[in-house]
Amino acid sequence: MAKTKTAFFCQECGHESPKWTGKCTSCGAWNSYVEEVVQRDEKPARQQAVWDTGDKDQVKAFRLDDVIVEDLPRVILNDTELNRTLGGGLVPGSVTLVAGEPGIGKSTLFLQTALDWRAGNVLYVSGEESLAQIKMRAQRVGHANELLYLLSATDTAAIFREAQKVHPRLLIIDSIQTLESPYVSSPAGSVSQVRECAAELNRFAKTSGIPVIIIGHITKDGSIAGPKVLEHMVDTVLQFEGDRHYAYRMLRTLKNRFGSTSELGIYEMASGGMRVVSNPSELLLAQHHEPLSGIAIAATIEGMRPLIIEVQALVTQAVYGTPQRTVSGMDLRRLQLLLAVLEKRGGFHFGMKDVFVNIAGGIKIEDPSIELSLVCALLSSYEDRALPSNLCMVGEIGLSGEIRAVSRVEQRIAEADKLGMDLMLIPAANEKGLDLKHYRMAIKGVSKVEDVYRMIF
Q: Which long-range contacts (CB under 8 A, 24 or more apart) does 342-351 make?
A: 342/375, 342/378, 342/379, 342/449, 345/400, 345/401, 345/449, 345/450, 346/401, 346/449, 346/450, 346/453, 348/379, 348/382, 350/315, 350/323, 350/378, 350/382, 351/323
Sheet holding 5-10, edge to edge: 16-17, 5-10, 33-39
Which stretches of 17-155 are DSSP H helices? Answer: 80-86, 106-115, 131-141
Residue 18, marked binder: no
Rounded-to-10 torsion of CA 264, 268, 273, 278: -70
Of the candidates 218, 223, 181, the one whose C-alpha atom is nearest the C-alpha of residue 202 is 181
Non-local (6+) Cβ contacts of 126 within 8 A are: 107, 134, 150, 151, 152, 174
Assign 231 to helix, strand or coil: helix
Residue 101, marked binder: yes
HSE-up of 40 (CA within 13 Å, CB side)?
A: 9
Angle at 199 between CA 109 and CA 6, to 5 degrees: 115
Residue 226, marked binder: no
Rounded-to-10 torsion of CA 21, 22, 28, 29: 120
Helix (H) / strand (E) element for 444: namely strand 442-446
Residue 105, marked binder: yes
Helices (H) and strands (E) in the chain, counts: 11, 21
Burial of 336 (0-12, 13-18, 19+ CB in 10 A): middle
Residue 103, marked binder: yes
295-302 and 305-317 as β-strands: parallel, antiparallel, unpaired? antiparallel
Residue 210, marked binder: no
Annotated binding site for ATP: 100-107
Annotated binding site: 100-107
